């Protein structure tokens, strides 16, 4: 996300000028395409690596500005959240040992980042979504303090006119409202770039769309969010919802999401895709720009299309068309944004080689995607892959096929041929595509996480399970083995951990009563479940009381069938918050001679802590 920009006023005058520049940039791009000024005799690849900073407890470490300052390297840039960093790799020509060079540079940058991070008590982890991220780290105080990020947050909130809502259903379900775009910061990806000749752009772009589902299916690495098991690649649902400015109305209306797959196959040229985006999305950011691009062209200079570049950086297509200037020459490229970070560098490089090989090896029959495949088929495949990963069923050219079969029997051969077409080093081809073959057989990073998370959950509380999982991921990453060779987490008997907060040990699966429930029902529920205390809520879901076994003794005097829970509950309830220190909670229970404490956020109960938990 981050690039250096001139201080912006974001006022009406600047906006008016920006719109003129944006329209002019499109005109300039069309001229360059028509006049053959865009580079078409070389193919380059590039990538951006997003990463998480974690502390000694394997939780998010908001130290990115310190780390970037210590790095003092233009390859690194900030992200929305202060516990994420991004490294931009140098573009290389697609030939011979290019993947070897990319991997060397990537490992070098990660080693450098790790060294500087450890100086401030942090370490680097590559993962699609950090399992230990909690609701606490999604507040505004974790946003990197850069005006551009605050601006994005303010405008998107104003457009939404309401809090953002996240609702994702997997094995578990996550539903909540939140008040900033910071949920987007849970997502860390490994973004791939491939330069495309202008005359081949539309064929390539449509093919990139068609293969998105099948490629994503074998790369999934983000199955958990806030301790819930959701999609195999939860980033896909989360990214769309965390930046969604569409108003929820009673009328059914067509609205295009800022993050999305697209609505139809493309035709004509790259400029057409940009025009569609400008036509369907409001301008989010502006900046002062000097000369007009068409004027620069007249002078024989190469324009950077700054307005278009800034606008395009706020539209999040999973396959994003990009214009850039390298070595003084303008070029077009496709940015693949759906691949998650991790699990290891070798896994990421394998994903990179698989995608580039597929793109480079496109068989002739796929030159005209609209004639052989319905666009909705491609879009649905993408969603199925995000939900089910390697277990997905795809519809491919009108027939049903499993993700594994399609990847192994049809796509891998295309990828091998595509890499050979560009004379890629044979050792690199078999090394990297070999990882994809093994992963198709043995499982993805998402599957490894889920299997081990379920195992840990059978032995320990949720918070301990996600910490142990993250710890094991970090340890495995350091071995540099691809994920299909990772061993299951063994003998994870509860290790002695540092528990500071109530949220780390509270019970979250809660039974509750309502104030207008009958007392006899409450007694039965407590007896059946051998529970000694039950929280009581009102119709708005707010905590209004607590029913404990010792209070039920009072029932002798009351008619059990007539009395309501509100007649016998304690109304003055002592509560704590998730971030209350455990020692404080212990002292409260001792001082007030009570056996449990409800844990609340505002008036809503999110957990309960009892003597047993302590």
Q: What percent of the chain has pLDDT above 90? A: 70
Asked if 235 and 128 count as a contact pair (C-beta separation under 8 A), the reply is: yes
Strand order in the sheet with 543-548: 513-514, 533-537, 543-548
36 pLDDT higher than 80: yes
The pLDDT, as a whole number, for residue 3 is 42
DSSP 556-572: GGS-TTT-BHHHHSBSS
H-assigned helices in 443-518 = 445-457, 462-479
What tokens appear for 160 in the block?
Answer: 């939404």
- 496 pLDDT more than 60: no
Mean of per-residue pLDDT scores for the chain = 91
Quick: pLDDT tens for 546-563.
Answer: 988 877 766 666 666 788
Token pair for 565: 């829970």
State the Cα–Cα distance between residues 11 and 332, nearest whole angstrom: 31
Q: Could you report the per-residue pLDDT of 497-537, keeping only the tens digit for each?
A: 567 888 888 888 788 899 999 888 888 898 899 888 899 99
pLDDT at 507: 84
d(CA 539, CA 534): 16
Q: Which residue has the higher pLDDT, 479 or 563?
A: 479
Pair 46, 89: CB distance under 8 Å: yes
Q: pLDDT digit string (tens) for 419-441? A: 999 999 999 999 999 999 999 99
pLDDT digits (tens, 9 = 90+) for 251-270: 655 566 788 899 999 999 99
In this chain, the answer to whether the domains covering 12-442 and 502-610 adopt an identical fold is no
| 365 has a pLDDT exceeding 70 | yes
Counting residues of the chain whose pLDDT is more than 70, the rounded percentage is: 93
At residue 285, the pLDDT reads 92
If you ran DSSP here, which 8-state letter would residue 484 be given?
Answer: G
- The pLDDT of residue 456: 95
CA distance 326 to 91: 9
Q: Which residues contact 256 (CB under 8 A, 6 or more apart)?
A: 263, 280, 281
pLDDT value at 319 more than 60: yes
Q: Is the pLDDT of residue 364 over 90?
A: yes
What's the confidence (pLDDT) of residue 164? 77
Is the bond into 308 cis (omega within 30 degrees of 0)? no
At the topology level of CATH, where does 12-442 sit?
Creatine Kinase; Chain A, domain 2 (3.30.590)
Buried b / exposed e along 447-486 (16+ C-beta atoms within 10 A): bbbbebbebbbeebbbbbbbbbbbbbbbebbeeeebbbeb
Sign of CA dihedral 149, 150, 155, 160: positive
**Dist CA 287 CA 306 (whole Å):** 9
Q: Rounded CA gap, 525 and 220, in Å?
A: 42
**pLDDT the model gives residue 1:** 42
Q: Which helix or strand (DSSP H or E) is residue 47 part of?
A: strand 44-54
CB within 8 Å of 268: residues ≥ 6 apart: 202
> CA-to-CA distance for 102 and 190, rounded, in angstroms?
13
DSSP 65-88: HHHHHHH--TTEEE-SBTTEEEEE
- 291 compared with 9, residue with greater pLDDT: 291
CB atoms within 10 A of CB 361: 18
Cα–Cα dist 245/456, whole Å = 37
Of 183-197, 278-292, 555-569, minimum mean pLDDT range: 555-569
pLDDT of residue 25: 98
CA dist., res. 334 & res. 358, Å (int)? 13
Q: Which two tokens stand for residue 123?
A: 């370490």
Res 461: pLDDT:
87
pLDDT tier for residue 5 given thresholds of 50, 70 and 90: very low
Average pLDDT on 152-180 reads 85
Compute the average pLDDT of residues 162-178. 86
Query: With contact defined as beta carbons under 8 Å apart, do 477 and 486 qualify?
Result: no
Report the CATH superfamily, name and number, of domain 502-610: CBS-domain (3.10.580.10)
| CA proximity to 126, closest of 487, 480, 497, 492 | 480
| pLDDT of 249 | 58
| Greater model confidence, 478 or 549 | 478
To which residue do tokens 């140098």 refer? 90
Signed CA dihedral, 609, 473, 87, 196: sign only: negative
Residue 58, pLDDT above cutoff 70: yes
DSSP labels, 159-217? HHTS-EEEEEESSSEEEEEESSGGGGGGB-BEEEEEEE-GGGHHHHHHHHHHHHHHHHH
Q: Which residue carries 């005058």 as its tokens?
A: 13
Residue 408 DSSP class? I
Q: Quick check: pTM over 0.75?
A: yes
Whole-angstrom Cα distance, residue 362 to residue 398? Answer: 19
Q: How far apart are the first and last CA of the chain?
A: 43
Domain residue extents for the chain: 12-442, 502-610
């Amino acid at each position: 996300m981050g690039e250096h920009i001139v201080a912006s006023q974001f006022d009406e005058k600047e906006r008016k000028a920006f719109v003129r520049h944006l329209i002019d940039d499109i005109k300039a791009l069309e001229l360059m395409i028509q006049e053959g000024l865009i580079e078409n005799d070389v193919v380059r690849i590039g990538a951006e690596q997003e990463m998480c900073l974690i502390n000694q407890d394997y939780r998010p470490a908001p130290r990115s500005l310190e780390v970037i300052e210590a790095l003092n390297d233009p390859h690194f840039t900030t992200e929305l959240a202060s516990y994420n960093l991004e490294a931009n790799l140098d573009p290389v020509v697609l030939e011979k040992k290019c993947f070897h060079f990319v991997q060397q540079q990537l490992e070098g940058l990660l080693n450098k980042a790790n060294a500087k991070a450890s100086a401030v008590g942090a370490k680097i982890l590559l993962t699609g979504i950090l399992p230990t991220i909690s609701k606490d780290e999604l507040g505004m105080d974790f946003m990197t303090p850069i005006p551009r990020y605050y601006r994005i947050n303010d405008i998107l909130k104003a457009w939404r006119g309401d809090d953002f809502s996240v609702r994702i259903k997997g094995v578990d379900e996550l539903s909540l409202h939140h008040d900033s775009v910071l949920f987007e910061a849970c997502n860390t990806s490994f973004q791939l770039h491939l330069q495309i000749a202008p005359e081949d752009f539309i064929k390539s772009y449509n093919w990139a769309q068609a293969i998105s589902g099948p490629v994503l299916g074998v790369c999934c690495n983000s199955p958990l969010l806030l301790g819930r098991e959701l999609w195999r690649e939860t980033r896909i649902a989360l990214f769309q919802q965390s930046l969604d400015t569409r108003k929820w109305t009673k009328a059914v209306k067509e609205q295009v999401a800022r993050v999305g797959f697209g609505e139809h196959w493309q035709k004509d040229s790259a400029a057409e895709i940009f025009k569609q985006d400008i036509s369907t999305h409001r301008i989010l950011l502006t900046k002062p720009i000097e000369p007009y691009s068409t004027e620069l062209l007249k002078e024989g200079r190469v324009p950077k299309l700054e307005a278009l570049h800034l606008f395009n950086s706020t539209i999040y297509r999973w396959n994003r068309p990009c214009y850039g200037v390298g070595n003084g020459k303008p070029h077009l490229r496709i940015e693949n944004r759906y691949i998650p970070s991790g699990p290891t560098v070798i896994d990421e490089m394998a994903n990179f080689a698989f995608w580039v090989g597929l793109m480079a090896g496109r068989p002739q029959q796929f030159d005209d995607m609209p004639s052989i495949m319905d666009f909705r088929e491609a879009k649905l495949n993408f969603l199925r892959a995000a939900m089910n990963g390697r277990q997905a069923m795809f519809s491919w050219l009108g027939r049903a096929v499993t993700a594994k079969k399609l990847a192994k029997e049809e796509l891998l051969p295309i990828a091998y041929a595509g890499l050979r077409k560009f004379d890629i080093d044979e050792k690199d081809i078999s090394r990297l595509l070999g990882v994809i073959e093994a992963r198709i057989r043995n499982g993805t990073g998402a599957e490894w996480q889920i299997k081990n998370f379920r195992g840990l959950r059978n032995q320990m509380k949720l918070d301990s399970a996600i910490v142990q999982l993250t710890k094991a991921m970090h340890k495995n990453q350091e071995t540099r083995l691809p994920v299909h060779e990772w061993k299951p987490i063994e003998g994870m008997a509860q290790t002695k951990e540092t528990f500071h907060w109530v949220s780390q040990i509270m019970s979250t699966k809660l039974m509750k009563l309502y104030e207008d429930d009958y007392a006899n029902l409450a007694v039965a529920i407590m007896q059946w479940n051998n529970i000694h205390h039950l929280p009581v809520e009102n119709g708005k879901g707010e905590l209004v009381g607590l029913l404990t076994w010792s209070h039920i003794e009072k029932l002798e005097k009351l008619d059990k069938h007539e009395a309501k829970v509100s007649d016998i509950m304690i109304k003055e309830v002592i509560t704590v918050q998730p971030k209350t220190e455990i020692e404080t909670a212990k002292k409260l229970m001792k001082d007030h001679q009570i056996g449990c404490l409800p844990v609340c956020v505002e008036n809503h109960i999110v957990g309960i802590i009892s003597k047993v938990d302590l």
